Amino acid sequence: MKDYILLNCLTNVHFIIFICLFVCICSIDLFARLSQHKGSSEIKMPIKLERKHALPMTLVPIMMALGFVLFKLYTASKITNPETGRVSRINLKPEQELQLGIEAYAQVKKDEASKIIQSGRDVDLVKRVTTKLAAAAAQRATVHYNWEVSVVQSHEKNAFCLPGGKIVVYTGIIPIAQNEAGLATVLGHEMAHATSRHSAERLFRSDITQTLLGGVQGSLAQLDPSQKQAVMAALGAGAKYGSALPFSREQESEADHIGLLYMARAGYDPKEAVAFWQRMDEQIGKGSPPEFLSDHPSHGKRIEQLRKWMPEAEQELAHNRAPAA
């Protein structure tokens, strides 16, 4: 629980970074303006006037953006994750989130129509595991979903769960899963994204970031276009690598944690989660980018965290033991 409280504080650090960067930008802007007066016969008074008025006028857009951000933070809904206790802010109602998931799911089914399989061993396996995990998730869920799943015949090693509980599984992941517990590792993780409402949280944070960037852009209006472009590119990179990607990795870790609890609660051995990620690392780990450039934790980091959470998962298994088929 303490880890997630700390995480909730750390994931807001980009607000401080933006403010600090903006102070630096304003200083550069002011220095550039003052430099233009060097050698001018108009000595002190114009320069003093410029120094007096340039900075406050430059700050207006960013101050307006910060005002909007504070308003959005104040009016956003606060939700507490029933599994981890982490508090997050979102600005979508469950029904709005569900509608987004339904629309996206319909598009996926349209795009993959020729490859969706309706029956067979893989379909039976996926539906069996999904049913058990859905029951496990419902034990503590604050929002209940009508879970749906589609199985796509493909070599792609992937699965995902859209907002509202719409799941898509590509058959390429099944050989790596090897068994029900391995597949429960994958689906538990994906279902945890939905129950934790991670998509709504990402949309809210993206909105906040774009509002701040818009304020900074407005505050740089008097800069040379090339300077403005360079500054905005640097800020965009800072927002991506200093905030968005780390936050995405934290959501992935939270989904790993909750998914581990779901699979144990459903009667699956949680140690199979470690075995699954070891197999994933052997198959595709070599070509993965460095963790700081990725929106997912490295496989090694995942395995390390799963082992840390294992005692909690084993308690869930002991309290909810139900032999898996």
Q: Could you give the residue numbers annotated as active site?
A: 190
Beta-strand ranges (E) seen in 138-197 are: 148-152, 159-162, 166-170
Measure Cα distances from 222 to 29, 32, 47, 51 in Å: 8, 11, 17, 14
In whole angstroms, give the CA distance from residue 174 to residue 180. 9
Tokens of 245: 């990607």
Measure Cα distances from 262 to 132, 138, 228 in Å: 9, 10, 48
Question: Facing residues of 196 across strands?
Answer: none
Strands 159-162 and 166-170: antiparallel
In whole angstroms, give the CA distance from residue 26 to residue 230. 14
The amino acid present at 239, given as its one-letter code, is A
CB 170 within 8 A of CB 59: no
CB 18 within 8 A of CB 214: no
In whole angstroms, give the CA distance from residue 108 to residue 105. 5
Residue recorded with tokens 């907002």: 163
In whole angstroms, give the CA distance from residue 148 to residue 20. 46
Strands 77-80 and 166-170: unpaired
In whole angstroms, give the CA distance from residue 209 to residue 286. 33
Measure Cα distances from 194 to 110, 114, 260 in Å: 22, 26, 15
CB 193 within 8 A of CB 199: yes
